[in-house]
Structure 1
Amino acid sequence: MNSASSSVEPVVKEQAPLLFLVLFFLVQATVLTVFTVPFSWTLVLVAVGSYFLRMFGITGAYHRYFSHASFKTSRVFQFVLAWIGSMSMQKGALWWAAHHRNHHKYSDTEKDIHSPSRKGFWYSHMFWFLRDDYNDYEAKLIPDFYKYPELRWLDRNHWIPPLTYAILLYVVGGWAWLVYGYAVSTFILGHATWTINSLSHVYGSVRFESRDTSKNNVWLALLTMGEGWHNNHHYYCSSVNQGFYWYEIDITYYILKVLSWFGIVWDLKKPPKKVIEEGIQRDRLKKEEMALVRKQKQEIKTKKKVEVLST
């Protein structure tokens, strides 16, 4: 793509072109083909497996590798990661990572491409990427990966992996596998991924002062294989693990850790000790504040009871 002719920081227009909206909702509507196939738990497992495979393509590949370079790998496996990510139907790795880096630079400001506090829930959730403004990206935002011709080719032809995947599902399991493994799985995958742009900036708890509205949300973390620890991530975004503590479930990190045992990935970046200690101290202070509030409320209740009894 020609970086000279594009801009990743356009003036945000809050209306999406009608044609793109129609095409988008037609693709979304393919989930209704589920009513053409008799239900079975085997098909549910196909959908779940397809969901988590491609979710890892977003979380482990597009996000933690291409967007934040939080670990290293070979050039061959780098292409494999980009291919799996492309299977999610969320465009190419370079496009995705370039826009995401821009999001971190301007998080929750007027220049943020998908801030719910600035643009509204549905715009931040999915309408932003339907605009012509964001079809391209600045190559200078992702020079570390833009230099690879095979990644540029895959980015231009990001439709090939999902089409290949759909054909494979049909060959293996026929129409039923295509419906559950592709249509149903893609619908859920898309909306689950987009909750990190929308819901994780609205609902959850705040541990670190990240200068934006990012939140930690355990339910979103379970749904997105660890991405729900969003406040952690926005505070120290280069960490390969977004669940900073053992009790913060981060399935993407567990997979990457296992891959590192076999030398497939390496140099997994972790948050420094001072960040971990700061988080522990902030959690302790928050617990103490909550305990104090509960104590004060209990004292008020007790005082009211005494007053009632005394009258």
Structure 2
Amino acid sequence: MSKEAQQKNEISYPLILMHLGCLGIFFVPFSTSMLLVFLTIYCLHVFTLTAGYHRYFSHKSFKTSRIFQFILAFLGTMAAQKDPLWWASHHRLHHEHADSERDPHSPRHGGFWWAHIGWVMQRKLDDTRYDKIKDFTRFPELMWLNRNPFLPALLLAAALFVVGLLFQIIRPEWGISGIQLLIYGFFLSTVAVYHVTFCINSVAHRYGSRRYAVDDDSVNNWLLAILTNGEGWHNNHHRYAVCARQGFRWWELDVSYLILRTLQFFRIVWDIREPPRSILGEKSKAA
């Protein structure tokens, strides 16, 4: 059997193990501090994926320094969605062939659950499409992350466990343990971010409203926009993918864009690409 045929039938197990880790919530106590840990890491993951992996590495919708580029990449890799080169290469392929048979995660052709999680569990899609990401392969630090995509996530897990263990020893009255921080701060937050991210590929190509009559099935979904810092305005995004702003109306909350504007004020990022007025002024043409 060829390597390609063998990989086609193999399942990538890390996602399964991450979900199994979430079952730990039934064996450790819940507390307000654990909720805060969960929300803090969830928000960090969502920003580094939406602003970093998606709007920067996939679409180059703003510019930044090489140092902050690596910070976005390293922190994004902590979310255990592989590295930015793998992620962006497949996302660019998605935009080239959105909802066609060559789209790696189209619910139109593969079904809802394939688009949501099935595609990312297949070993045959483990390889990075370097031909789609040549503009970033020249950075050795990004190639290092590409070769070691799970290292930052493992470092995060270890750090959370050690910090919790220290609290357990030094401040036992606080009721914080290493296993608590590991479950709420790593497993639960990571899996929650998995599914809100995956919902953009599945839900946001099925359920919502269409402002623009683009050549794919993308829709705007306000609930996903809240959960993903603005990514839920997906029909807007497919109308003009290279801009950093995805909420095209004043009431379309886009937290990642607002954070990028704040970072621009401090000159950490610059040349943020905005949607043209001609597109913002378009009336709805969706069927």
Using the size of structure 1 for normalisation, the TM-score is 0.83
Unaligned runs of 5+ in 1: 1-5, 290-311
Does residue 1:219 correspond to 2:238, yes or no? no
| Residue type of the alignment partner of 1:275 | I
CA distance in 1, matches of 2:129, 2:262: 34
Query: What is the match of residue 204 of structure 1?
Result: 208
CA distance in 1, matches of 2:133, 2:187: 31
Q: Summarize the Cα distance change of 1:261–1:97 in structure 2 as closer, same or farther, 3 Å threshold.
A: same
Q: Which residue of 2 aligns with 1:56?
A: 47
Q: Structure 1 residue 107 and structure 2 residue 108: aligned?
A: no
TM alignment of 1:68-107, pairs within 5 A: 68-107=59-98
The match for 2:253 among 249, 254, 261 is 249
Match of 2:149 in 1: 158
Check whether the contact 1:84–1:161 (CA below 8 A) recurs between aligned residues: yes
Q: Deviating runs (4+, > 3 A) in structure 1?
A: 15-19
> Are 2:264 and 1:260 aligned?
yes
1:37 and 2:37 correspond: no
Offset, 1:16: 6.3
Task: Find out whether 1:141 has 2:104 as its counterpart.
Answer: no
Cα distance change, pair 19–235 in 1 and its aligned pair in 2 (3 A): closer
In the other structure, the counterpart of 2:171 is none
* Residue 272 (structure 1) aligned with residue 263 (structure 2): no
Q: Check 1:18–1:141 CA distance in 2 against 1; reply closer, same or farther (3 A cut).
A: closer
The correspondence of residues 296-311 of structure 1 with structure 2, limited to 5 A, is none
Q: Which residue identity is paired with 1:141?
A: K
Task: Give the distance between the partners of 2:113 and 2:184, measured in 1 at CA.
Answer: 26
Work out which of the residue numbers 181, 195, 198 in structure 2 matches 1:194. 198
**How far does residue 19 in structure 1 lie from its aligned partner after superposition?**
4.6
Contact 2:107 2:205 in 1 (8 A): yes
Partner of 1:123: 114
| Counterpart Cα distance in 1 of 2:33 and 2:130 | 43
Residue 177 of structure 1 aligns with an amino acid whose one-letter code is: L
Retained in 2: the 8 A contact 1:16–1:127?
Answer: no
The structure in which a higher percent of residues are helix is 1
1:238 and 2:242 aligned? yes
The letter of the residue matching 1:223 is: L
Of 232, 238, 248, which aligns to 1:228?
Answer: 232
| Other-structure match for 1:292 | none
Matched, 1:67 2:58: yes
Cα deviation, 1:194-225, whole Å, max 9, x if unaligned, reads 00000000000000111100000000000111
Deviation at 1:248, TM superposition (A): 0.3
Q: Give the Cα–Cα distance (whole angstroms) in 2 for the partners of residues 208 and 19 of structure 1.
A: 37
TM-score (ref. length: structure 2): 0.90
CA distance in 2, matches of 1:23, 1:162: 12
**How far apart in 2 are the matches of 1:241 and 1:182?**
29
Contact 2:8 2:124 in 1 (8 A): no
Q: Counterpart amino acid of 1:209?
A: A
Output the CA distance in 1 between the equivalents of 2:111 and 2:30: 37
Equivalent pair of 1:113/1:128 in contact (CA under 8 Å) = yes
* Cα distance in 2 for residues equivalent to 1:28 and 1:39: 18
Name the CA distance, whole Å, in 1 between partners of 2:38 and 2:228.
15
Identity between Structure 1 and Structure 2 (%): 46
Query: Residue by residue, what CA displacement relative to the aligned partner does 1:109-128 show, whole Å, maximum 9, x if unpaired?
Result: 01010000110011110111
Counterpart of 1:179?
183
Shift of 1:23: 4.8
Q: Which residue of 2 aligns with 1:302?
A: none
Offset of residue 35 of structure 1: 1.4
Query: Which residue number in structure 1 is paired with residue 169 of structure 2?
Result: none
